[in-house]
Amino acid sequence: MTYEDRARPARKLLVRETVREADGVLGVVLTDPQGADLPAWGPGAHLEVCLPSGRIRHYSLSGDPADRTTYRLGVLREPDGRGGSEEIHTAPLAGRLLEVRGPLNRFPLVPADRYVLIAGGIGITPILPMVRQLAAGPVPWTLLYGGRTLTSMAYRDELAALGGRNVSIVPQDSHGLLDLDHALEGLPDTTAVYCCGPGGLIQAVQERCDRLLPAGSLHVERFTAPAAGPRGDTGAFEVELRRSGQVLNVPPGRSLLDVVREAVPSVAFSCEEGMCGTCETKVLDGVPEHHDTFLSDSEKRSGTSMMICVGRSRTSRLVLDL
Ligand SMILES: Cc1cc2nc3c(=O)[nH]c(=O)nc-3n(C[C@H](O)[C@H](O)[C@H](O)COP(=O)(O)OP(=O)(O)OC[C@H]3O[C@@H](n4cnc5c(N)ncnc54)[C@H](O)[C@@H]3O)c2cc1C
């Protein structure tokens, strides 16, 4: 969700129903309250969802892009999280309106001569629409889908019906870990690999792709930030909020987001780890020091926007469009 996307109005969608998709995974089906068609999307897209508590969380669209009447999400319950997934699992959402932005896609299918899809656990959500699209076309593809137990793995029947023998479902308790070497060795250079799942799986796939395939062959979607290195947030700086003219001091050890929230309580944020893009803010003057994993290198070099949850300043003053 870029700051340009944020300027677009959010829409309210009706939770038509919630359904149990697997152990710990709740399906959420959204429709337009007036029955209008929903904006089109492609495999890999996600929504930014504002929960009744005001928390913002992101969820991949796992349904069929050809169905313009509903969006389907699959949400894993994460008891150790900060409460967003718990809220979805425990609040009576059916019949309520939820504010959403998007769809937004930073994980689109690019043209390739072959596809290897690798999903771990709830990482299947953006991959399923890819399977649907690839299964309807001529290009060869395979899916390797791992999970802790068979009953925790969502969309198994749908995947098997769509992909047949191209789909390998590998529950860890009975079949062990995914055989990544077998899946990734000996592939043509024109293969595109798509991976979504836990950080450890993404890292293992990344290591093999670095060794075996040309740079750029691997496409990943992360649901949580990779382990952060030191952020070097020792220096103080000033932030000017251009719209209100306020100038605030950001001391060492305090995040820019924290300081900004005191003056602008409505500022949008979500992951607080620099990976989801929700708090992307336009920089009007000064040089941001980026610590996020959301912006590309060239976006970071341009210095025109930043993630204020983890970013700081290289100049003594930073002027933000807030
Ligand atoms: C583009 C995108 C698409 C997504 N799609 C889906 C999807 O389809 N389905 C789905 O279930 N989720 C998806 N997510 C993740 C989702 O947005 C939420 O993060 C998730 O539901 C957990 O929310 P939470 O508030 O319960 O936990 P969060 O607080 O967001 O925590 C998430 C995980 O991070 C860990 N964590 C939290 N805080 C810390 C910390 N300070 N230090 C270390 N670890 C920490 C928690 O243990 C937890 O496992 C997606 C995220 C993104 C960015």
| H helix or E strand, kind and range, residue 146 | strand 141-147
Residue 96 confidence (pLDDT) above 80: yes
Q: Tens digit of pLDDT for each residue in 186-234?
A: 999 999 999 999 999 999 999 999 999 999 999 999 998 877 665 655 6
Predicted pLDDT at 235: 85
Q: Tens digit of pLDDT for each residue in 44-85?
A: 999 999 999 999 999 999 999 999 999 999 999 999 999 999
Residue 3 confidence (pLDDT) above 60: no
Query: What mean pLDDT comes out for the span 15-44?
Result: 97
Query: What mean pLDDT comes out for the span 13-17?
Result: 98
Predicted pLDDT at 199: 93
Dist. CA 126–CA 110, nearest whole Å: 14
Over pLDDT 70: what percentage of the chain? 95
Handedness of CA 211, 215, 219, 225 (dihedral sign): positive
Range 3-104 classified under CATH 2.40.30.10: yes
Residue 101 confidence (pLDDT) above 90: yes
Query: What mean pLDDT comes out for the span 77-99?
Result: 94
Distances (CA, A) of 106 to 103, 294, 318: 10, 10, 28
Predicted pLDDT at 319: 96
**How many Cβ atoms from other residues are within 10 Å of residue 193's Cβ?**
23
CATH class of 237-320: alpha beta
Pocket of ligand 1 (CB under 6 A): 46, 57-60, 74-76, 78, 80-86, 122, 125, 221, 223-224, 276
Dist. CA 190–CA 217, nearest whole Å: 8
Mutation test of ligand 1: which of 41, 47, 72, 82 has the most ligand atoms closer than 8 Å to its C-beta? 82
Query: What mean pLDDT comes out for the span 170-182?
Result: 95
Residue 5 confidence (pLDDT) above 60: no
CATH class of 114-221: alpha beta
Cis status of the peptide bond prior to 103, with omega within 30 of 0: yes
Dist. CA 175–CA 120, nearest whole Å: 14
Domain chopping of the chain, boundaries: 3-104, 114-221, 237-320
